[in-house]
Amino acid sequence: MSSSNPPTNVPVAIGFTIASVLLFGMQDVTAKILVQTYPVAQVVMMRFWAFGLFALFLAFRHYGVSFSGIIHATQSKARGLQLLRGGILLADILLFATGLRTLPLGEAAALTLTFPLFVTVFAIPLLGGKVGPFRWVSIVIGFVGVLIVLRPGFAVLDVGAIYILAATMLFALYIVLTRIVAQKDSTATNMLYVGIIGMVGSSAVGLFVWQNPDLQAWGIALLLMASTTGANYFVMRAMAHAPASVVQPFNYLLLPWAITLSFITFGQMIDTISLIGAIIIVSSGLMVWLRERGKG
């Protein structure tokens, strides 16, 4: 853990955040293409091998290129939480990829953007967070937006939406646990645990359901792995220049980007009712952000 705070450069942090959003969108569209033909576990394994190699690179850079360096990188003051984080992120990505098989990217992005609301809720028992009436109202409004997107009882519920929502809840829990371990271990150690656990866990299934990709699929898979690595790198660079709370609103650019990619790639346009629900979700997230910034 670094003992000094890096200088704040908000414009640079915003630039890195927008770059990460663009790459996360590419990551999702390539994953959606692949899971239409190949097993979900295989696609998740490809993604985690890229993430894991990136984590190993960070560990080597931080602790040195040696076996002893890797051993040092795995030394944690919160090993139980690190293992739990890794398992949660693996389950999150498996559920998300499964949901992408059927749910359009626009609707998936709308549900994914509820994660700040779940983070606020999970932070109460795990971080001792205090949530006042204003933020509770904002959270309830956000969940109303979720119900509008899902429209239970009024339309055939896409099971993919349930997978995406469950994945989003797990991702929020992962974020809260990351805040805890970030106070105890280095970034390299935190990344290494989730990278290795993801590689091993996904490979334990992915290797046994492997289907040989054709040349085009390999190209898409390489783009998936590159976008995954690049997006995570840009997130780290953004946080090095400004606190995550400063750039949070720019993450909501994922919604119009996902809608655009969905239309260009799959010819799918988000319907009006889902778009209204998505706007409500984003608005509630921004309300929570504004309140937390005001408290800060």
133 assigned to some structural domain:
yes
pLDDT at 242: 81
- Which of 201, 187, 236 has its CA nearest to residue 73? 187
How many Å apart are CA 44 and CA 98, to the nearest integer?
10
How many Å apart are CA 13 and CA 246, to the nearest integer?
9
pLDDT at 68: 85
> Whole domain around residue 244: which residue ranges?
10-295
2 assigned to some structural domain:
no
1 assigned to some structural domain:
no
157 assigned to some structural domain:
yes
The answer to whether the CB of 106 falls within 8 A of the CB of 160 is: no
Q: Which residues of 141-176 are buried (b: 16+ CB within 10 A; e: fewer)?
A: bbbebbebbbbeeeeeebebbbbbbbbbbbbbbbbb
5 assigned to some structural domain:
no
Nearest 5°: CA angle at 96, between 31 and 250? 85
How many Å apart are CA 244 and CA 238, to the nearest integer?
8
Q: What sections of the chain are H helices per DSSP?
A: 10-35, 40-63, 67-73, 79-100, 105-112, 115-127, 133-150, 159-181, 187-206, 215-241, 244-247, 254-266, 272-295
How many Å apart are CA 285 and CA 281, to the nearest integer?
6
Residue numbers in the chain where pLDDT is lower than 70: 1-7, 152-156, 294-296
pLDDT at 152: 66
267 assigned to some structural domain:
yes
70 assigned to some structural domain:
yes
Per residue in 146-188, pLDDT (tens digit) is: 988 887 656 667 899 999 999 999 999 999 999 899 889 888 8
How many Å apart are CA 282 and CA 295, to the nearest integer?
20
Number of structural domains (the chain) is: 1
String of DSSP letters for 90-111? HHHHHHHHHHHTTS-HHHHHHH
pLDDT at 289: 85
In the structure encoding, which two tokens stand for residue 87, read together? 């398992």
Q: What percent of the chain has pLDDT over 70?
A: 95
Per residue in 249-277, pLDDT (tens digit) is: 898 999 999 999 999 999 999 989 999 99
The answer to whether the CB of 201 falls within 8 A of the CB of 29 is: no
211 assigned to some structural domain:
yes
